[in-house]
């Protein structure tokens, strides 16, 4: 049986630290692709067949609209700030979708992919009991998926939560959303950073969801500490 001292020394091992960083960054990049794939596959089944021609159904990251916003910027913010920024969206022809319900489902599919992936990662730790370093990395990656789900499901213009309810809004509300879309997410991040009380509510909600999908806060905390080894 591994002692607590041995476990603590595990997380000081440079090999474990490097492995955790690479594992989390790689896993997050894959999850970004799955998030966008979720949008695209539901759009395809809902009437926008052009997503196939654009390569969105291939999980090939080169086909996403903006590699900087979809991959580079989210990975940089994740590495230096621990913020699971949603990637840039695939381009969907909403006029080709069959109805408002399909439009809502297209927006919902991305965040749900994060939630499902978070649940699968959490369950893999519970069921297979991998080594401590891997358990911590898996749990932290699972937590990031849940954080991305909760963040992206908020009804803020530019995020998927807004896209879920937007088809059912009045024309005036939709126009407001279109104008606010470029800057509203930035305001949200600024509020989370500037107001600890608001951030605390966000994280309490996220950890509650994390627990519901089988996540273990202790393992996730160890994974975060290893990932952000410079702190």
At 16-31, the pLDDT tens digits run 999 999 999 889 888 8
pLDDT of residue 18: 94
Average pLDDT score over residue span 172-183: 94
Looking at the predicted structure, is the pLDDT value of residue 201 above 90? Answer: yes
What is the chain's length? Answer: 231
Question: Residue 112 corresponds to which tokens in the numbers above?
Answer: 């749900």
Q: How far apart are CA 115 and CA 45, in angstroms?
A: 21
Give the chain's mean pLDDT: 89
DSSP character for 96? G
At 29-53, the pLDDT tens digits run 888 889 999 999 999 999 999 999 9
Terminal C-alpha separation, the chain: 30
pLDDT of residue 125: 96
User: How confident is residue 127, by pLDDT bands cut at 50, 70 and 90?
Assistant: very high
Q: Is 36 a catalytic residue?
A: yes
Full DSSP string of 185-222: HHHHHHHHHH-HHHHHHHHHHHHHHHHHTT--HHHHHH
pLDDT of residue 219: 95
Average pLDDT score over residue span 72-93: 73
Full DSSP string of 59-73: T-GGGSS-HIIIIIH
User: How confident is residue 66, by pLDDT bands cut at 50, 70 and 90?
Assistant: low
Q: Round the CA-based radius of gyration of the chain to a whole number and report it.
A: 19
Instruction: Find out whether 70 and 36 touch, Cβ atoms under 8 Å.
Output: yes
Average pLDDT score over residue span 56-65: 78
Model pTM above 0.85: yes
pLDDT of residue 4: 46
DSSP character for 94? G
DSSP character for 93? -
Instruction: Find out whether 33 and 40 touch, Cβ atoms under 8 Å.
Output: no
Helical (H) or strand (E) element with 108: helix 100-128
Looking at the predicted structure, is the pLDDT value of residue 1 above 60? Answer: no
Q: How far apart are CA 26 and CA 71, in angstroms?
A: 11
- Any residues with CB less than 8 A from the CB of 184 and at least 6 apart, and which? 156, 157, 158, 159
Average pLDDT score over residue span 185-190: 86
User: How confident is residue 2, by pLDDT bands cut at 50, 70 and 90?
Assistant: low
Catalytically annotated residue among 36, 103, 166, 216: 36
pLDDT of residue 180: 95
Looking at the predicted structure, is the pLDDT value of residue 79 above 80? Answer: no
* Between 164 and 188, residue with greater pLDDT: 164
- SS3 (DSSP) at 86: coil
* Between 199 and 70, residue with greater pLDDT: 199
Give me the percent of the chain exceeding a pLDDT of 90.
Answer: 67
Angle at which helix 217-227 crosses helix 196-212, to 10 degrees, equals 120
């Amino acid at each position: 049986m591994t002692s607590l001292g041995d476990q603590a020394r595990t997380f000081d091992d440079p090999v474990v630290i490097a492995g955790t960083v690479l594992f989390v960054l790689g896993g997050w990049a894959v999850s970004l692709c799955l998030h966008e794939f979720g949008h695209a596959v539901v759009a395809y089944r809902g009437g926008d067949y052009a997503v196939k021609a654009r390569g969105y159904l291939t999980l090939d990251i080169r086909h996403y609209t903006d590699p900087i916003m979809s991959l580079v910027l989210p990975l940089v913010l994740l590495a230096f700030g621990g913020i699971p920024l949603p990637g840039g969206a695939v381009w969907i022809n909403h006029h080709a979708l069959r109805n408002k319900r399909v439009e809502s489902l297209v927006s919902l599919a991305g965040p749900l992919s994060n939630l499902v992936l978070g649940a699968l990662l959490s369950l893999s730790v519970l069921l297979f009991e991998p080594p401590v370093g891997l358990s911590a990395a898996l749990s932290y990656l699972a937590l990031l998926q849940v954080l991305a789900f909760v963040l992206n499901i908020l009804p803020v213009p530019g995020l998927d939560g807004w896209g879920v309810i937007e088809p059912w809004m009045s024309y005036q509300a939709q126009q407001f959303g279109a104008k606010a879309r470029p800057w509203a997410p930035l305001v949200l991040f600024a509020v989370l950073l500037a107001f600890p009380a608001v951030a605390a509510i966000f994280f309490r909600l996220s950890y509650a969801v994390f627990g519901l999908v089988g996540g273990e806060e202790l393992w996730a905390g160890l994974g975060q500490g290893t990932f952000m080894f410079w702190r």
